[in-house]
Structure 1
Amino acid sequence: MNKLRENQEFIEFRKARSNMLLSRKNQLLLEFSFWNEPVPRSGPNIYELRSYQLRPGTMIEWGNYWARAVRFRQDNNEAVGGFFSQIGQLYMVHHLWAYKDLQTREDIRNAAWHKHGWEELVYYTVPLIQEMESRIMIPLKTSPLQ
């Protein structure tokens, strides 16, 4: 880190970035043990990051339901990873999904509703959520997730 502080290019980058940056927040995340570990993927893919702010005290219940729910979404290898906050905004959960395109995303998400048990898991997990957000992301060329 000390070498970065002395790197003129990095110093200029930080100055330029600070003019564009409105806010920043950091979280220390751990992965749920029932999700596969994220591995490099060939593309092209788009990624959906779904973030859930859970009600305090519901993390274990959420994890128990999603340990079963993630199995419904493994058929097409779209489940990339599931993470929860340890430091920063607590009771925050992030699910990362990979899709070939937006149409594939819609098709796969709709197909989950036809699987026996999915509706029940959604029914029990929705009340645990205070807030949720979905972001579609396109990987940079340097990302191991393409």
Structure 2
Amino acid sequence: MATRVLQRLGNGLSPARTGVRVQARLLLVSRGLSASTNRNGEDSWFRSLFVRKVDPRKDAHSHLLAKGETSNLYKIQFHNVKPECLDAYNKLCEEVLPSIHADAHYPCELVGTWNTWYGEQDQAVHLWRYRGGYPALTEVMSKLRKNKEFMEYRNERGKMLLSRRNQLLLEFSFWNEPKPREGPNIYELRSYQLRPGTMIEWGNYWARAIRYRQANQEAVAGFFSQIGSLYMVHHLWAYKDLQSREDTRNAAWQQDGWDECVYYTVPLIQHMESRIMIPLSVSPLQ
């Protein structure tokens, strides 16, 4: 077969272009030489005949999946706290974070702040919203460096932490925008590490599937990462308690179409994690 392909390629070319090189390739293929260098070269050349065409993309997936009517940017922070310092850490956060949230000088809002209950232990999770996108984030960071109270908070906080990390996120267009919520509630943060290149596919399935999870108002927010760990998705849910969570999730399976969403999205996932979180007293999401 390889010989026929090579012959067809040579038929429409001038002798100068078909020449010794094509004849040499025909001899190599027809004689079936087994030397690894020649075999690798032939395999690579033969595969190049069947290169798939890449469909052109006209826009980044962030523009296709994010809310177009807003320019909100979110930051999620994960702080791993020394176990003996968790109470002091929470007290410090409750003293400082609300003042930043309430100050119109800073174009940012504290969406929610929690401690993990089940999942990674002794961990604090903070979610911030920057209305105005990256310029708002830059403005806030610049102003906070000049805020003496905040810098003292950062120094004191640093003594209590084992590690910390953050991500910058955009919200999916088909999810609810997170709004203050009365409690008491527990919150579940489900985090998915997707296979690279599958974010659009994930969004297409969940744009239809989210309607199956709205009956009890449990859907709080959905995000995908822009900076930090990439191809990360976070879904935030609220429940009255663990039994309510169990009942609500089981009820989704009774609706036609939910099983299809699960079936098609599970293969897109490389890793997933669930955190059950309890809000701090100052969290707008209670």
TM-score by length of 2: 0.48
Query: Partners in 2 of 1:93 and 1:2 — Cα distance?
Result: 30
**Count of residue pairs brought into register by the alignment:** 145
The answer on 1:15 being equivalent to 2:152 is: no
Can you give the 5+ residue segments of structure 2 that lack an aligned partner in the other structure?
1-141
Aligned residue number for residue 138 of structure 1 = 278
- Give the aligned residue type for 1:143: S
- Give the aligned residue type for 1:87: I
Query: Partners in 2 of 1:95 and 1:56 — Cα distance?
Result: 18
If each structure's helix is expressed as a fraction of its own residues, which one has the higher value? 2
Q: State the Cα distance separating 1:10 from its structure 2 match.
A: 4.2
Q: State the Cα distance separating 1:15 from its structure 2 match.
A: 3.4
Give secondary structure in 2 for the equivalent of 1:83: strand
Can you give the 5+ residue segments of structure 1 that lack an aligned partner in the other structure?
none
Query: Partners in 1 of 2:186 and 2:177 — Cα distance?
Result: 18
Give secondary structure in 1 for the equivalent of 2:165: coil
Off by >6 Å, runs of 4+ in structure 1: none
Q: State the Cα distance separating 1:97 from its structure 2 match.
A: 0.3
CA separation of 1:60 and 1:14: change in aligned 2, threshold 3 A: same
CA separation of 1:108 and 1:23: change in aligned 2, threshold 3 A: same
CA separation of 1:87 and 1:6: change in aligned 2, threshold 3 A: closer
Determine what percentage of the aligned residue pairs are the same residue: 78
The answer on 1:115 being equivalent to 2:255 is: yes
The answer on 1:46 being equivalent to 2:186 is: yes
Query: Partners in 2 of 1:6 and 1:104 — Cα distance?
Result: 42
CA separation of 1:75 and 1:15: change in aligned 2, threshold 3 A: same
TM alignment of 1:1-146, pairs within 5 A: 1=142, 7=148, 10-146=150-286
Q: State the Cα distance separating 1:20 from its structure 2 match.
A: 2.6
CA deviation profile, 1:96-140 (whole Å, cap 9, x unmatched): 000001110010011111111111110100010000111111111
Q: State the Cα distance separating 1:19 from its structure 2 match.
A: 2.7
Q: State the Cα distance separating 1:144 from its structure 2 match.
A: 1.3
TM-score by length of 1: 0.91
Larger CA Rg, structure 1 vs 2:
2
